Amino acid sequence: MVRTAIRRSPHAVVTRGFSLIELIVVTGVLTVVTSLILANNAKFGGAITLRNLAYDIALSVREAQTYGISVRKFGSGSGQFGAGYGMHFRTSSPTSYLLYADAVNQNGLYDGSGELVESVAISRGFEIADLCYTSAGGSAETCGVQKIDIVFERPEPDAHIRVNDGAILNQRARIVVTSPRGDEASIIVEATGQISVPPSYESS
């Protein structure tokens, strides 16, 4: 019987697996990176949703403006064609706002369900955080008001802005909306009829 001796070459490469410590380190690094990515993704998604909410409210105000100057019919039967249309915001109901027709008393204010056109709900923890206004001829903004009514009447696109059921018209209204993590966005309505959503600032 012939026996062949197998010799290991001195240049052969010996491979081995990861040690336990190396596996723990790699797993830890992957966990940290994944957590940062998920956290930033949630933050970005919340900011985008808040921005979309602000634009939705601005579009609702624009819709009221369009209805107001285009003589949209309100009510059943013969209906009413001369009513102005407006938006009603109140801090006591922070998760909804109302589109209404100023058809009952025609006082530029929301007078109850008889004027209601549509109630829009705000969901997923987003809400109206504050209502602010600037008086006619003034420059200082006052926040913390309970109600703001913004009405548009034909034939002008001007906004008639009233605060807390008052009769006085104001220069500007600002609706502040907030996200569950505290970010804020604003919708600004000028008495001239201009509606805008300025850049929002995120909390840290």
Average pLDDT for 18-35: 75
Q: Looking at the predicted structure, is the pLDDT value of residue 154 above 90?
A: no
What local confidence, expressed as pLDDT, does residue 132 receive?
Answer: 98
> How far is CA 115 from each of CA 20, 118, 127, 173, rounded to the nearest angstrom?
71, 9, 23, 22
Higher pLDDT, 112 or 71: 112
Q: Looking at the predicted structure, is the pLDDT value of residue 1 above 70?
A: no
Half-sphere exposure of 123 (CA within 13 A, CB side): 3
Average pLDDT for 84-101: 96
- High-pLDDT (> 90) share of the chain, %: 56
Tokens for 107? 């006082």
Q: Under a CB-based contact definition with an 8 Å cutoff, are residues 46 and 176 in contact?
A: no
Q: Looking at the predicted structure, is the pLDDT value of residue 39 above 70?
A: no
Where is average pLDDT lowest: 57-66, 71-80, 98-107?
71-80
What local confidence, expressed as pLDDT, does residue 204 receive?
Answer: 40
Average pLDDT for 19-40: 72
Q: State the pTM of this model.
A: 0.76
Tokens for 124? 């997923």
pLDDT band at 82 (very low <50, low <70, confident <90, very high): confident
What local confidence, expressed as pLDDT, does residue 203 receive?
Answer: 43
Residue 131 CB burial class (10 angstroms; 0-12, 13-18, ≥19): buried
Higher pLDDT, 73 or 41: 73
Where is average pLDDT lowest: 30-34, 126-130, 194-198?
30-34
